[in-house]
A and B are shown apart, each in its own frame.
Chain A
Amino acid sequence: MSTSPTLAPMNTQLGTRRTTHQPRRLLPARPSRALDTDLVWALGIYIAVITGIWIIHGGLSQFGDGTIGIATGVTQLTGLYASAAGLLGLFFAARPRILERHCGLDRLFNWHRVLGETMAVLVGVHVAAGIMAWQVDGQWGAVLADVTGRVPYFAGATVGAVLIGVVTVTSLKSIRNRLAYEAWYFLHLTAYLGFALSFGHTITSGTDFSDDAIARWIWIGLHVTVAATLVWSRWGHTMVAALRPLRVAEIQRVSHDVCTVRLAGGRLQQMRGSAGQFCFLRPLTAAGWWRCNPFSLSASPTTEGLRFSIKDRGDASNYITSLKVGTKIAVEGPYGVCTSDVALDRKVMFVVGGIGIAPARALLEDLPASAAPVVLYRARSRKDLIHYDELVELAARTNGRVLTLVGPSASLAVKDPFSASSLRRAIPDVAERVAILCGPERLLQAARHGLKRAGVHTSDIHYEHAWW
């Protein structure tokens, strides 16, 4: 690791390192072969097939049939699109590698959220329009009795809609923040149940799938594909992680509230990963096996171990930093696309706040000398600056420097330390640099705003989107 930090020479050194049993860096994760255009095409075909099935079965023509025709058409279309959005959302939550490597888990989860919310709205319209379509002359009691259970498979659909409503409401940020993460997560899992319960009525009612065997098999095939992706990509990876766990090799307290945790094990020989990524850690203990939380790598991953810097922020982080050496931990990932690849061959700057220093610290190891990185490190107090000596040393190796900004916001000399003029004064060539941001949401927003004003192109600003 003390040799050249560039990636390209690393690979040529691998052979010699292996023979001498030196630790080597993990190979970087394979890039996704998908292009943006591929994904747009796939999405377009997906929507076209589903809309086409509806149109072929007379979907459009019923809009000329008066109120009931319109209500029927709206019911069918919203039902189809709700299922389509839900399937796509489940597909994203399954973290298929081809998508994760392309746009990062944070983007996938954000899309999962958008699709889930879309589905909930569509289900609401679907239910309202369905009741309108079913009634003829305002006999609401009979209609409600029909659609909530007297029609075969409709009870499941009703309960499914209720579950999807509960899952959506508990995922609203204001409500979710009141729930413990795991309580929210287990509630969220009931969406699988809701989706499965409502599947029956999509096949048996309506005209799209009950009469047309081809359409029916396309529909079933879509569900099977998503289920297979979930089993293989999501649960399969969890199983692999649990069956081949790493062990806690070392825990060091580096500040009053931050510990570094190093995990090691034989599985590292086959793992891939790069600095800037994060892993989900699941302690395989009686009190921890049901908890899985993401933590950023704070050093370039090597066969010697994965190092995480974990701040005491809640139950999960407290628990992990209190584990004994030798405890098994299931590691899922690493995930994330904010690696040294985003730097290309350009100069780099970091805007870092709090524990966000962890991925920045790891990335500094991976950057080539041409990067000349400047690290803007924001912390509440001196004692919150962690890994400071390491940062200075790593930055110096690549002709970079570390600028700290310490103190509560109110005490700072400048009102907005991330305004365009402040950034330009600190980093005269800010507009030429690639910016990597790691930190809390408010810092990311302020920094993004200032950087754009300072002339940094949006595509040169890299950061993990907050997914909750």
Chain B
Amino acid sequence: MKPSPSHARRRPSLARRALPAIALTGASGFLLSALDRPNNSANAATPLGDGVASTITVGDVTILPAAAPAPTPAVAPAPTVAPQTPETTSSVPSTPVATINSNSVTTTPEPVAVETAPTVASTVPPAPVATPCRTVDGPTVNTRFGPVQVEASVSSSGRICSVDAIQSPSDRRKSRQISQYAVPILNGQVMAAQSKNINGVSGATYTSVGYYKSLQSILDSLGG
């Protein structure tokens, strides 16, 4: 009888066998802690499951992400005009603003209270005083999650005095959360860019595109 081959082999140990799995688990834990940076700064009150993150480009101009530190100097606000008090995001309605009837064109003196999210409050542009602004409602754009309609006040010189969405997707709890979060950021982006060339809000892609289309048609109609 031959000597059993078992004596020639090294006896395997649990540590050796478990090492790959333990290393993989450790690497996963490390990766998880390195990656897990949920952007809760803007939505601490109403956590969104969906996109609450960086900006994306809707128009043809690329702006820094809204979640990044606000690029204030780029817009160079006039020193005489203090930024308007930012309103809370909860005032951004999913229903139309009560004071302005849809399809009406009204004239309001500047400065107009601009509804902005706190993170973009400092990007409010300079506001020359006493130029009258026309308020125009854009067309309703139907997106997959609901209609989006933008209302903008634009001065005769083409400056955007104020902008807001008077309709945004609100059928579902989730849609309301996203609208509540995204619309102020979009408003802020328009005010900062003073054009339709905005980033969108990542995770609110449909709302962003609908918003962009509605705004585009307002600016096109005014610009001739």
Residues of A participating in the B interface, judged by any CB pair closer than 8 Å: 58, 61-62, 65, 68-69, 133-139, 142-143, 145-146, 148-156, 158-159, 162-163, 166, 179-180, 182-183, 186-187, 189-190, 193-194, 197, 203-207, 210-211, 253, 256, 287, 290, 312, 315, 318-319, 322
Contacts and interface: CB of A to CB of B under 8 A. Distances in A.
A202 to B, nearest CB: 10
B24 interface: yes
Counting contact residues on chain B (CB < 8 A from A), the size range is: 35 or more
Contacts of A182: 12, 14, 17-18
Nearest to B14: A290
A304 to B, nearest CB: 28
Given A143-B54, A186-B21, A193-B25, 9 more contacts: A61-B144, A134-B205, A151-B50, A151-B203, A155-B35, A182-B12, A210-B173, A211-B173, A211-B174
B220 interface: no
A271 B35 CA distance: 50
Interface string B1-32: 11011100101111011111110110010011
Contact of A58 (B4, B144, B174): B144
B25 A134 contact: no
Nearest to A181: B17
B5 A312 contact: yes
B65 A187 contact: no
Contacts of B12: 180, 182, 315
Contacts of B11: 287, 315
Nearest to B201: A136
A136 B51 contact: no
Nearest to B171: A211
Contacts of B21: 183, 186-187, 189-190
B47 interface: yes
Contacts of A149: 34-38
Contacts of B217: none
Given A150-B39, A183-B17, A315-B9, A136 B49 contact: no
Contacts of B172: 207, 211
A290 B51 CA distance: 44
Contacts of A205: 49-50
A381 to B, nearest CB: 13
B28 A163 contact: yes
B183 interface: no
A284 to B, nearest CB: 14
Contacts of B25: 190, 193
B49 A210 contact: yes
A62 B37 CA distance: 30
Contacts of B38: 149-155
A256 B56 CA distance: 72
Contacts of A287: 11, 13
Contacts of B17: 180, 182-183, 186, 290
Contact of B55 (A142, A148, A158, A186): A142
Interface string B95-128: 0000000000000000000000000000000000
Nearest to A194: B28
A320 B28 CA distance: 35
Nearest to B58: A136
